[in-house]
Amino acid sequence: MAWEQVELDRAVADVFGFHALQLGLPELDALRTNRMPHRWVASDTVYVPEPVPVPDVDESLSTLAPIGGLQLHCEFDALPFPAQCMDLVLLPHTLELARDAHQALREVERVLVPEGHVVMTGFNPASMWALRQRMGRLFHGRDSTRALFMPRAGDFIGYWRLRDWLRLLGFEVVLGRFGCWRPPWRSVGWLQRGPWIERAGSQWWPVLGALYILVAVKRVPGMRLIGPARRQRSAAQAGKAVAVSRGGWSRGAPHPRDNRAP
């Protein structure tokens, strides 16, 4: 959560507009660095705010308090907003836990204005964390919460798969980054010994990070105005020129001498 908080702060700081929406994970204040006047947080479950402690992080991130103010309760695949009204939508692990991930992403595309931004985070299925999750389900069963490292519910969506979904909906991915290469250790002491793994992972195996963040922009093709339309007038065809001789008669006409009496 500390890594995601830092990346989200950086991704939304310079996104401008009037309306921003966060879908899911109210424990993460994903809009705290954004300066839009109207910011909304929506949850598909009844949420009771509780601070979430995060070990081994900066003091400013040691307790991630939920966003204050008004929060919405709605279904993510049927958002209660009109079309093209949001300038920024954040999806922190939202599609992984959504009832219908495809429909939820289509709803995000519907409510975004042209050139609007969508920011999303997720677990990488091609990582040691996901491998630890699959091994726990294989040997201890899917419902064994003690054996699982990541949340029991949800279907993790791959990074490249999500890029394809966005491309089909007309989005252009402008940023993609991986993070958290430390092994799935439960001990805080072991996690604190792994900063060198983060440096090595970002350099040698970046696509194997446990988390990823994607930033995409909604592109809408339209007309391009290049100037006022002008009617092109065809030039009038020039007539045949009439050549006049010195004697005052035109070529092609009978010569005056031809009318003289014999």
Is the whole model's pTM more than 0.85, yes or no?
Answer: no
Is residue 54 included in any domain, yes or no?
yes
The CATH number linked to 106 is 3.40.50.150
The number of residues in the chain equals 262
Euclidean distance between CA atoms 217 and 16, whole angstroms: 13
- The CA-atom distances, in angstroms, between 144 and each of 97, 124, 140, 180, 184 are 18, 21, 6, 24, 17
Euclidean distance between CA atoms 40 and 156, whole angstroms: 25
Is residue 235 included in any domain, yes or no?
no
Is residue 187 included in any domain, yes or no?
yes
**Range of lowest pLDDT (57-71, 173-187, 192-206, 232-246):** 57-71
* Count of domains for the chain: 1
Residue pLDDT, tens place only, 2-41: 889 999 999 999 999 999 999 988 888 899 999 999 998 9
Is residue 236 included in any domain, yes or no?
no
How open is the CA angle 47-117-68, to the nearest 5 degrees?
Answer: 30
Going by DSSP bridges, is the β-strand pair 71-73/38-43 parallel, antiparallel, or unpaired? Answer: parallel
Tokens read off for 257: 């001498």
Find out whether 216 and 174 touch, Cβ atoms under 8 Å: yes
Integer-rounded Cα Rg, in Å, for the chain is: 34
Indicate whether 139 pLDDT > 80: no
Indicate whether 245 pLDDT > 50: yes
With left for phi above 0 and alpha for psi between -120 and 50, is residue 137 left, alpha or beta? alpha
Residue pLDDT, tens place only, 189-226: 767 776 777 777 677 777 888 899 999 999 988 766 66
